[in-house]
Chains A and B, each alone.
Chain A
Amino acid sequence: MTRPAAIGDTLRRAAPSLAAVRRRRADWAPLLLLLPTTISLGSVSVYPILDGLWLSLHNTTLATREDRFVGWLNYRLLATDPDFWSAWRHTLEFTAISTLAETAIGLGMALLLVERFTGRGLVRAAMLIPWAMPTVVTSKMFGWLFDGQNGLVNWVLRSLHLIGGNIDWYGSPNTALGTIIFVDVWKTTPFMALLLLAGLQTIPHSLHEAARIDGAGAWQTFWHVRLPMLVPILLIAAMFRALDAFRIFDLVYVLTGGGPADSTEVLSTLTYKTLFSALEFGYGSALSTAMFATEALIALCFGVLIVRGMRRQGR
């Protein structure tokens, strides 16, 4: 018997178990590869949510070291807490106005950017600046721009004779929330515009061409061709923005701290103060659960709209 043949026989007999070993390793591979992620997300995102729900049923207060099970008491207190409802209203007001403004202005920017023109790359690059800045820096930057005494905005508006005297933009309860909304629009609109731009570019060009050949002008093309196709993208982008806006914290905490006179207190700043100033971890957890529930409701409303919009398009 020749050597190669003997070796060949041995290999062929060994081959099935080699494949079996490789198959067994391949079965474990996905689980092993996903293990670090699972541990990380499980311990940092999933466990605290459950622990928070459990905490909300206790009167845990770090200052007095209380920790008794109290059932629904926190939620009953929440339902009659004027601070909670005021923050809830502010948060919804902020979410609605900023999402609408950012979607509308973002759409305008996207429509501009979808056309080819010299310097388009520069414009797109510039639009990333607001997104890249830490929100804390943005807050301080606009704190200086909108400063009641020496801010640039007051000086420009007075020079243009649009206002008579200095306005204490974020020091006065009437204008503080509006100032916060303005800063958020500045920071987030460019990002929305880029998302909508991506959506716009998925619309087949043949549709534009057909409309143009039929003699449609720019406005008609927009209203009857682009806009209907944009609706699902607009709704999805608006939903993500709304959910994000609902959670606003950095901007409010740094620019106004929730004031003046609680006029800009939003749910996350109220919860933060309840947790870390008043050290009421039980009540604070109930607050954040109520916040989570409202957010889920908003997501549900958007979800229904999106599904209905897609169904109407026959997708």
Chain B
Amino acid sequence: MAEVGRRRSGAQNGLFLLGATAIVLWSSGPFLWQISTSFQLDRALVSPTPSLIPHPFILQHFLNIFLVKHFQFYILNSTIVAISTTLLCLAFGAMAAYALSRLKMRWRFGLLGFILSVSMFPQIAIVGPLYLLASVLGLLDTYMVLVIIYLALGLPLVIWVLFGYFQTIPEELDEAARIDGAGPFLSLLLIIIPLSLPCLVTTGLLAFIAAWNEFMFALALTSTIAHQTVPVGIANFTNLYYVPWGDIAAASVVVTLPLVLLVLFFQRRIIEGLTQGAVKE
């Protein structure tokens, strides 16, 4: 939708600049303070006058979280769980979205609606029964239990976004594939998937972020550092006598910076994916 050129007064431009600056500061300010905190001495953090620039600049907190708290294990666990979840979500989700989009099924919008409404169930309502089930199956404190659950949590969004994207791929391509003798599975694998790679990357990123950030199930179903994920690790960061804000800030930076960079790099695709392409540049 083309923006019609409108002469704006200097005052209006100034207001926009002010508003835009306010939004940028609001969104990034707190995190910038965390970055600064992670490089400051504990002594400097409790001094009466805080300063934005660390003085002196120390790396102690980063050393602490890896050497003392063994934060690398939490990161490893989160990476394994999040990547497995993402791959499975994309595979199962693409199959389901393809079926709903291409193959003429009578109740496909009802099914889509059902899948979406399942994602509205309060997670607290299913964590109890799932804990009991996992306990019976011997799956407590394993990677598998988290992947199984995160897969189900991520599928509705993945199916929803991929469905929207597949709808935009012309059906003539399917026709051509069928004439050449390809069945639905081959069509999906050799035609639709290659065409959808950008969307798959974006959707995968959304699924990855959701799995990486999940807290409640990880808290309830894992109990040792062998399988606990990053959010649980950060939540449990306390010392006996004081709250180690510097260490916590260092852990926050280590965990969030890659996410933020990924999101900033893919920001246009992410916004398009989440709003079904409605947000124009």
Binding site for B on A (CB under 8 A): 22, 25-26, 29-30, 33-34, 36-37, 40-41, 43-49, 51-52, 55, 109, 112, 115-117, 119-137, 140-145, 147, 149-150, 152, 155, 186, 190, 194-195, 197-199, 201-202, 204-205, 208-209, 212, 243, 246-247, 249-250, 253-254, 267-268, 271-272, 275-276, 281, 284-285, 288-289, 291-292, 295, 299
Binds A, one of B56-64, B88-96, B193-201: B88-96
Let me know if A125 and B267 touch, CB within 8 A: yes
Query: B46 at interface (Cβ–Cβ under 8 A)?
Result: yes
Partner of A135, one of B1, B125, B215: B215
The range of chain B's interface size is 35 or more
Partner of A51, one of B129, B259, B260: B129
In the bound complex, CA of A204 to CA of B1 (Å): 8
Kindly list chain B residues whose C-beta atoms are within 8 Å of the C-beta of A121.
267-268, 281
In the bound complex, CA of A302 to CA of B213 (Å): 29
Interface flags for B8-33 (1: CB within 8 Å of A; 0: not) read: 00000100110110011011101101
Let me know if B133 and A48 touch, CB within 8 A: yes
In the bound complex, CA of A275 to CA of B183 (Å): 49
Extra contacts besides A155-B49, A204-B1, A275-B128 (17): CB < 8 Å: A29-B183, A33-B103, A36-B91, A37-B93, A40-B151, A48-B129, A49-B126, A52-B129, A117-B17, A123-B23, A126-B28, A129-B264, A137-B231, A190-B27, A198-B279, A276-B220, A299-B120
Partner of A48, one of B130, B153, B184, B276: B130
Kindly list chain B residues whose C-beta atoms are within 8 Å of the C-beta of A147.
245
Let me know if B255 and A36 touch, CB within 8 A: no
Query: B225 at interface (Cβ–Cβ under 8 A)?
Result: no
In the complex, which residue of chain A has the Cβ closest to the Cβ of B230?
A134
Let me know if A52 and B128 touch, CB within 8 A: yes
Kindly list chain A residues whose C-beta atoms are within 8 Å of the C-beta of B183.
22, 25-26, 29
Kindly list chain A residues whose C-beta atoms are within 8 Å of the C-beta of B31.
129, 133, 141
Let me know if B248 and A140 touch, CB within 8 A: yes
Partner of A134, one of B20, B100, B212: B212
* A–B complex contacts, Cβ < 8 Å, 14 sampled: A22-B183, A30-B99, A41-B115, A41-B118, A45-B118, A48-B130, A51-B129, A132-B209, A134-B230, A140-B234, A198-B275, A247-B124, A254-B215, A254-B235
Kindly list chain A residues whose C-beta atoms are within 8 Å of the C-beta of B220.
272, 275-276
With A30-B105, A132-B263, A288-B128 given, is the CB distance from A202 to B278 under 8 Å? yes
With A41-B152, A140-B248 given, is the CB distance from A271 to B27 under 8 Å? no
Partner of A37, one of B30, B96, B148, B262: B96
Let me know if A137 and B19 touch, CB within 8 A: no
Nearest 4 CB-CB pairings of A with B: A44-B152, A198-B275, A198-B278, A48-B126
